[in-house]
Structure formats: C-alpha cells, structure tokens
Structure 1
Amino acid sequence: MKEKKGSFSGSIGFVLAAAGSAVGVGNIWRFPYLCAKDGGGLFLLIYLVLVLTFGFVLLTTDVAIGRKTKKNALNAFAAICPKWKFLGYLTFLVPVLIMTYYSVIGGWITKYFVEYLVSGDNVPAQDGYFTSFITSKAAPIVFMLLFLALTAAVVYGGVEKGIEKVSSFIMPVLVVLIVAIAIFSLTLSAEGEDGTVRTGMQGLAIYLLPDFHGLTVKRFLEILLDAMSQLFFSLSVSMGIMVTYGSYVKDDVDLNKTTSQIEIFDTGVAFLAGMMILPAVYVFLGKEGMASGPSLIFISLPKVFSAMRGAGRIVAIAFFLMMGFAALTSCVSVMETLVANCMEVFHQTRKKMCGLIGVYSLVTAVLICLGYNVLYFELPLPNGSTGQLLDVMDYISNSFLMPFISLLTSILIGWVIGPDWIVGEVEKNGECFTREKLYRFMIKYVVPVVMLILFLTSTGLWNRIA
C-alpha cells in the first residue's frame, strides 16, 4: 500500500531542514581550507558572487521543480518532459554514490567526539592518530554503524516528525556552537617559533583580506572552479535533495523568500566556520597550518586543541559535537532522498524502504571503510589527482555528475520548456520574484556555458581541448 506523502509544517520547517541539508561537512571542513588555499578574502568574494547568482538559480530551480511536480527527483523530470526522464535517473545516482561514504566520514567525526569526551588527554593530536584509526579494520566500521543508525532513525521518523523536528533542534544549537567557538578563536594568542606573537585577530585579517599575490588568469580560473565546486557541495543542488525537499513544501509557502533564507543561512555558516577555524589554526600553526588542506579537521585542528591546554578539550568536544550535528543533517537529507524515491517507485512504506536503504548504506559503507586497508588502492583520476575508494565515489558524484546534471537541467529549463515554468511556480501565490530577470538570463545563457566548462575541466577534457 502506498504511504501518504509527508510535508513540512510550514516555511520555517522547510528552511531549517533545507539549511540542515546544505550546512554540512562541506561548510565546516571544505570551505575553510579552500579559502586558506585560494587567497582568503579573494575566495570569499568570488564565492559570495557565485552564491548570489549560480547558487540562487540552481537552488530555486530544484525547489520549484519539486513543489510543482510534487514528485521526487527520479520522477520529477519525467513529469516535466517525458523525453528527459533520464535526467531523473542521473540525479538519483548522486545520492546513491554519496550515501556510500558520508556515513563513513560521520563515523570519523563520531570517533573524535567520543575520544575527546571520554579521554582526559589530547590523544587525537598525536602524530599518526588519524591514519592509524582509518586504516584499522574494526574501529571505523563500529563508529560508522553508530552514525548510520542515528541517521536511519531520523529518516524513519518521517518528514515532519523526523527530519523537521530534528533539524529544528539541531540547527539553532549548531549556530550557537559555531558563534561561540568563533568568538573564542578571535581571543587566542601564542608565541611562534620565531618569537613573534600571533593573535586570532591577525588570523582573521588573513582570512578576510584578499590576497592577489601571484594572481594570473589561470590561477583565477582555478579559484573560480574551486568556489563553484564548493557551491555544489554546500547548497545540496543538482543531487535530487532539494527537488525531494521541494516536493514536501506546501503551496502557500513563499519560495522566493525561503530560497533566499537558505542562501543566507548556508553562506553565513560557511563564513563563520572559516572565522572559527582559521584564526585558531594561524595562532598555533601559522600560515602554513591554515593551508593544510583536507587534513585540516582531523590532523591540524587536534594539534590546535592540544596547544590550548586546559580549554582545548572543552573546545574540541563542542567542535566535534557541532561537526556531528552538521554531518547528521546532511546525511539525513541524502538518505531521505533515496528512501523517498524508492517509496515512489516501489509503492512501499517508509519502514520497508528505510530498511532496504539502510542495508545498502551499511554494505557500501563497510566497503569504503575497507578501502583504507583490505581493499586499498590508488587510482589516478581524470582531474589529475589520485584517490582511494572514497575519493573515487566523491569524484564521480561531485566533480563529474553534479556539473553535468546542472548543465542538462539548465538546458531543459532554459531552452526546452522555458524559464516561465519556474517563474510561474515561484510567483504562484502572487509573490514577487525579486531576481526574475537575473534568473531568466542566468538559466538560459550563463549557467549552461559555465557548467560545460566546469564539467570539461573536472574531467580533464578541458586541458586536451585547450
């Protein structure tokens, strides 16, 4: 028997749930290290422009498609245009791939939180701690199971009683924790190896002030691509999540207003995450530590917490609790997308589909965990990097499928059915679509071109063409 489709109770519930999906590991982990790597304030400026243009267009498109069709990603595109049904399958494939590894990362965060909670010292700051943990055969699987079980429990509760209720509690707490840690970071100071005193405010200046040193056209394009990649990662667009959440939005909700609120919430948290992490890293590890890349959270920050001495453990507990909340709301949105689509396709209850997707997530996540020991390999990727099993899944979903899906979606909306289809949905209740002209121009002319370049670059084809 087909289960009745759930819905958010109102605009606040939708905004908090959508923001919870958008505000994830990407904001708090990826955004700061990209910002440090790509010229501080220069990256911030470029990213802000992209959020107000590309982010706004892609987010509005996904949410409007979901609400107008009242279908999840797998069937929504077929409802728009039957010949474009394949786009729904491509979109569905993204969360299928992301779900294989997101709970693994959630397990890493859970491990650090538990370690700081029960240990009286700074064990995670020891050299080799992270590598030793992820390469062990049992521990990563155990903590992944804990995180996955919590994710499944929230999704099992449904839209209003599960996702909305949890997001309404978690998101305010997450923001309070981020603000508190950010303020604390700005008060820090320490003497460097050269005898000079480094302060949190100096670190903030490095974070905020644009660095144009050595900037070339090629370097600018690299920063632009990093910022666009972060946009996908952050706003949860082009992966079916916002289409699914949009299908739960009631017709009387003002889409123009709510999508703007999601943009502000997501970008604000990313900005605060940088202000929370980078000044503290600068104080204790210098500018080199700020640009430590993907190892920032699990290797560099524990050393920062250790250098804080007495307050370090408390800050670490608060930090990884906040990281856990961010990872949970994002993982919930990925799993909900899979469950909701399967409920629609197989006409089964939420309970059965939660069980099915739960088993899939468990099996694939175990394989990802084993990718650091039993199944370890290094595979060269088209973008010039090399990676293990987790990196391969991340590359296919984020660097290959997302820009490709955005390219196809912009062609479908901009040229096949026309922007009026989306504009009419946004203005459904007489609301003013404040950025209508920008939307029409972007979806037809700018998004297709930029997404094509991004896709060709991320797949390595651009270098061959150029």
Structure 2
Amino acid sequence: MSNNSHHHKRGSFTGSLGFVMAAAGSAVGLGNIWRFPYLAAKNGGGTFIFVYIILALTFGFTLLITEISMGRKTKQGPLTAYGMLNKKFAPTGFLAWMVPVIILPYYCTIGGWVLKYLFAFLTGDAINTAADGYFTGHITSQWSPIIWMIIYMGLTAFVVISGVNKGIEKYSRILMPILIVLIIGISFFSLTLHSTDADGITRTGLEGLKIYLIPNFEGMTIKGFFLLLMDAIGQLFFSISVAMGIMITYGSYVKDDVNLMSSINQIEFFDTLVALLAGLMIIPAIYTFSGIEGMSAGPGLMFVSLPKVFAAMGKVGIAIGILFFVTVTFAAITSSVSVMEAIVSGLMDKWKISRNKSVALSLIYAIVVGIIVCLGYNVFYFELPLPNGSVAQVLDVLDYLSNMIMMPIVAISTCIMVGWVLGPDTIINEVTKSGAKFSRKGLYIVMVKYVTPILLFFLLLQSLGIL
C-alpha cells in the first residue's frame, strides 16, 4: 500500500500522448532552433543532416531508450535511480542530477534574452533589434538581463509547481502542437523570400534550401568528417536531452502499460523534425538577405542575423518576428521546465521534500546563480581560454562543464552500467514488459556495449582538447 501512495504522490503522465509531448517538448529546445541550423550551415548542409539522422536512429535511440527505461523501472529521478539499480553507480546518479543544476541558471538567462526580443517585437521596437550592437548592448547592460531572466524563470517554475499532469503534461500538450504549426508556417514563408542586393544579384529562399539540404562533400577530409561527426554527436546529445537526468525523470512518470518503443520512436521523430524545420525556417531566410556570409554568425545567428532578416522584410517582418520569438519561447519553456523538473524530482525522491518546497529551493538557487551569469557580461566579465580552444565567460564556462565534460561522463558511465554490469536485458525486459516489441534489439546491444561509449569517449577527448 505504502508503495502505491508514494507513486501517487510523485504523479504520472495520464498516457503515452502526454508523455511523448512532454519528452518531445524537453528535447525540442533552444539547441534545435539555435545550434542545429548553425552547425548544419558550418558543416556542409546536407552532409551534416545525413549524419545527424543516422546518429539519431542509432546513438540517440540507444541513450533515449536506456534512460526512459531506467526511470520507469525504478520510478525515481536520476539522483536515486542509478544507486537503486546498482549501488556502485550512485555517484553517476549524483553527477547526472548536477547537470540540470548547472544548466538551469544559464538556460533561463538565454530564455530571458528570448523574452526580451519578443517584447521588443511586440512593442514596436523591432527595428532597433536589427541595429549593430543591439544584442551586445542588451547582454552587457546591468539590470535588463537580470529582470528578464527572473521573469522567464518564474514562468518555468509556474509550470513545474503545478505538477506532472496539471503542469508539465497540460502545457506540453498545448504548446508543442502550436510550436510545430508555427515552425512549419515560418519555414514555408522562408522559402518564398527573394532579395536583390546592391550589385544586382538576386537570391532566393529556394537557393538557400539547396545549400541547406544537398550534401556537399567538396574538400571533405577524414579529419573534417571526424569533426563533423563530433559536432553531430554533440548536437544530438544536447538535442534529445540525454545524460542530464531529464529522460530518467520523465520515464519515472510513465505508467507500466505504456508502449515505450512507439513512444520513443515518436520522440525521435518530433525532435529530428523540429531540428530540420528550424534549419528550414532560418537558413533560407538568412541566405536570401545576407548570403553565405550571414550563416557564419554562430550562436549569434538567432539574436543578430535574424532580426536583420526580419527588418529587411519590412512590415511583414515584424509579424514573422513576433511568431518566430513566440515559437522560440515555447520551445525554450518546455525544455527549461524539464531541466527544473529533473532537479525537483531529485529533491523529492532523495530528501522527501514536498514539490512546492523543492520548486522554491530550485528557484531561489537558480535566480542567485542566474544573476551571476547575467553579470558575467559586465561586472564579472573575464576571458578564460578553454581546453577546446574557445574563450569563455561565466555562461560559457557553465555550458562547457555541463555539456562537454559532465554529460559525456554520465553517458559513458550509463553505458558501462547497462552494457556490462547489469546487462542490456535489464532495459530490454523493461521495454517489452508492456507487450511491446523491441524492434532494434541487436543494434541496441552493440550500441550500448561498444559503439556509443567509444563515440562518447572521443567526444570527451575532443572537449578536453586532447584530440
């Protein structure tokens, strides 16, 4: 009896649709909309997409099904799930739980930037966002980023405090379909664009589409392909939100009769679809108005290049800009909700703290660290060279620690635990217990024991600057 009441208190998704929408919402975040198009443009378009899709169906699938099954089997968040499966792996659980703890403050800082832009477009200030130095001016100002970060964090906490059904599931079911419709709409619009520059050269969205989709193997070296592969793995990792305790947390809310296999196929489909559409929405538009050069903006793509594109469209650009930033806000919120939920589930499972108190603790902590992140561009500004060759501020350091160092370690450790200590059958039995077929079983065993940990090891070496 006590066991059931404990589960009842944790909450659960009502069925597979709610779970798929929440998990896809978690997977579809700033990473898909912001990093994917930039990496695709950097790595020869279609070549990157081709590699990414193959990885999603093998590498991504392996990590996703492992974590969701671990969550459902233990009915625990990451902090306690690992130790429950094998005591020796309790430290991995702690590390997995620390990843969202590090990510939440800086993710909400970026979420605040998105809200600021949305507000600018809604209040008729859109034209200024296209000015050179607008973005830098915003992030280096003292108070504005902090206020927006706190507003964004409040929205996130509001959803999490409402619980699994009335919060996460309810809002994911509303936001995800709207998000997909908006992205498809803007993508189609992006393809109809054309512009003529001062030299009389006309560029169209369809030409941009070709650059985005058609693989370009020109000058591709073995080293170049290796770097592309690492970029694709890194992106996928971030994109499907594995190795950060989120999928274990969401898996723990899935009822035993839900068909995990079909749910996971749907999550993979949604995630890859949105990543591809994000590129379709962004790359043709940027190509049309600023040529190939515009695509090398890196992370500034969303905050620097796109507002210029919206400005170049005239009046319709403001409307499209509003829709775009609404889309990005929805994508960001469904993800930051899952990041906060992973932290909250740990506090609830390990220390038996109520949901309300757990959310309050997470919120206070995240606001304090979030303020430090915001001040990293002015008061606490520094330039720290990282082992992987980039130069970092506070936000970049947290991103590097969580994404480049801790996540690969967590995932490698998970593969060792499942592949070699517990045995892949632990996961296979969990998936098939609802009568579901495990369709890629042979592939799964090879991936979890050998291929995935080896790829992750290379990713870790690259992050540490050894490769």
- TM-score where L is the length of structure 1: 0.98
C-alpha distance in structure 2 between counterparts of 1:419 and 1:267, whole Å:
26
Q: Report how far residue 405 of structure 1 moved.
A: 1.2
Which residue pairs with 1:224 in the alignment?
Answer: 229
Which residue pairs with 1:63 in the alignment?
Answer: 68
User: What SS does the corresponding residue of 1:50 show, helix, strand or coil?
Assistant: helix
Is 1:399 paired with 2:389? Answer: no
C-alpha distance in structure 2 between counterparts of 1:215 and 1:193, whole Å:
33
Which residue pairs with 2:390 in the alignment?
Answer: 385
Alpha carbon RMSD of aligned pairs, Å? Answer: 1.1
Is 1:207 paired with 2:212? Answer: yes
Is 1:10 paired with 2:15? Answer: yes
Match for 1:445 among 440, 450, 458?
Answer: 450
User: Residue 41 of structure 2 contacts residue 212 of structure 2 at CA under 8 Å; is this kept in 1?
Assistant: yes
Match for 1:246 among 241, 247, 251?
Answer: 251
Which residue pairs with 2:297 in the alignment?
Answer: 292
C-alpha distance in structure 2 between counterparts of 1:312 and 1:324, whole Å:
18
Q: Aligned partner of 2:40: which letter?
A: C
Is 1:342 paired with 2:347? Answer: yes
Matches within 5 A, 1:119-130: 119=124, 121-130=126-135
User: Residue 156 of structure 2 contacts residue 337 of structure 2 at CA under 8 Å; is this kept in 1?
Assistant: yes
Is 1:413 paired with 2:418? Answer: yes
Q: Aligned partner of 2:324: which letter?
A: F
C-alpha distance in structure 1 between counterparts of 2:173 and 2:383, whole Å:
41
Q: Report how far residue 384 of structure 1 moved.
A: 1.1
C-alpha distance in structure 2 between counterparts of 1:232 and 1:446, whole Å:
15
Q: Aligned partner of 2:327: which letter?
A: M
User: Residue 71 of structure 2 contacts residue 81 of structure 2 at CA under 8 Å; is this kept in 1?
Assistant: yes
C-alpha distance in structure 2 between counterparts of 1:120 and 1:147, whole Å:
20
Of 119-128 and 195-204, the range deviating more from structure 2: 119-128
Runs of 4+ more than 2 Å apart: none
Q: Report how far residue 193 of structure 1 moved.
A: 3.3
> Alignment identity in percent?
54
Is 1:196 paired with 2:201? Answer: yes
C-alpha distance in structure 2 between counterparts of 1:267 and 1:310, whole Å:
32
C-alpha distance in structure 2 between counterparts of 1:145 and 1:414, whole Å:
42
Match for 1:319 among 324, 329, 335?
Answer: 324
User: Residue 120 of structure 2 contacts residue 126 of structure 2 at CA under 8 Å; is this kept in 1?
Assistant: no
Q: Report how far residue 461 of structure 1 moved.
A: 2.3
Q: Report how far residue 121 of structure 1 moved.
A: 4.7
Match for 2:139 among 134, 137, 142?
Answer: 134
C-alpha distance in structure 1 between counterparts of 2:16 and 2:185, whole Å:
27
Which residue pairs with 2:57 in the alignment?
Answer: 52
User: What SS does the corresponding residue of 1:198 show, helix, strand or coil?
Assistant: strand
C-alpha distance in structure 2 between counterparts of 1:132 and 1:78, whole Å:
46
Matches within 5 A, 1:175-190: 175-190=180-195
Alpha-carbon deviations, 1:326-360, whole Å to 9, x = none?
00010000001111110112212111111111100
User: What SS does the corresponding residue of 2:203 show, helix, strand or coil?
Assistant: strand
Is 1:362 paired with 2:367? Answer: yes
Matches within 5 A, 1:19-38: 19-38=24-43
Match for 1:268 among 264, 273, 281?
Answer: 273
Is 1:117 paired with 2:122? Answer: yes
C-alpha distance in structure 1 between counterparts of 2:76 and 2:350, whole Å:
11
User: What SS does the corresponding residue of 1:210 show, helix, strand or coil?
Assistant: coil
Q: Report how far residue 406 of structure 1 moved.
A: 1.1
Is 1:433 paired with 2:438? Answer: yes
User: What SS does the corresponding residue of 2:291 show, helix, strand or coil?
Assistant: helix
C-alpha distance in structure 1 between counterparts of 2:325 and 2:134, whole Å:
16
C-alpha distance in structure 2 between counterparts of 1:45 and 1:98, whole Å:
29
Q: Report how far residue 120 of structure 1 moved.
A: 5.3
Match for 2:109 among 104, 109, 125?
Answer: 104
Of 208-217 and 257-266, the range deviating more from structure 2: 208-217
C-alpha distance in structure 1 between counterparts of 2:434 and 2:327, whole Å:
37
Which residue pairs with 1:457 in the alignment?
Answer: 462
Match for 1:173 among 163, 170, 178?
Answer: 178
Which residue pairs with 1:257 in the alignment?
Answer: 262
Which residue pairs with 1:157 in the alignment?
Answer: 162
User: What SS does the corresponding residue of 1:4 show, helix, strand or coil?
Assistant: helix
Of 192-201 and 59-68, the range deviating more from structure 2: 192-201
C-alpha distance in structure 2 between counterparts of 1:190 and 1:172, whole Å:
32
C-alpha distance in structure 1 between counterparts of 2:342 and 2:276, whole Å:
27
Q: Aligned partner of 1:353: which letter?
A: S
C-alpha distance in structure 1 between counterparts of 2:140 and 2:126, whole Å:
22
User: Residue 415 of structure 2 contacts residue 453 of structure 2 at CA under 8 Å; is this kept in 1?
Assistant: yes
C-alpha distance in structure 1 between counterparts of 2:140 and 2:297, whole Å:
21
* Structure 1 portions without partners, runs of 5+: none
Q: Report how far residue 456 of structure 1 moved.
A: 1.0
Q: Aligned partner of 2:445: which letter?
A: R
Q: Report how far residue 280 of structure 1 moved.
A: 0.4
Q: Aligned partner of 2:193: which letter?
A: L
Alpha-carbon deviations, 1:62-85, whole Å to 9, x = none?
000000011110010111111111
Q: Report how far residue 194 of structure 1 moved.
A: 2.6
Is 1:234 paired with 2:247? Answer: no
Alpha-carbon deviations, 1:98-118, whole Å to 9, x = none?
012011000000000000100
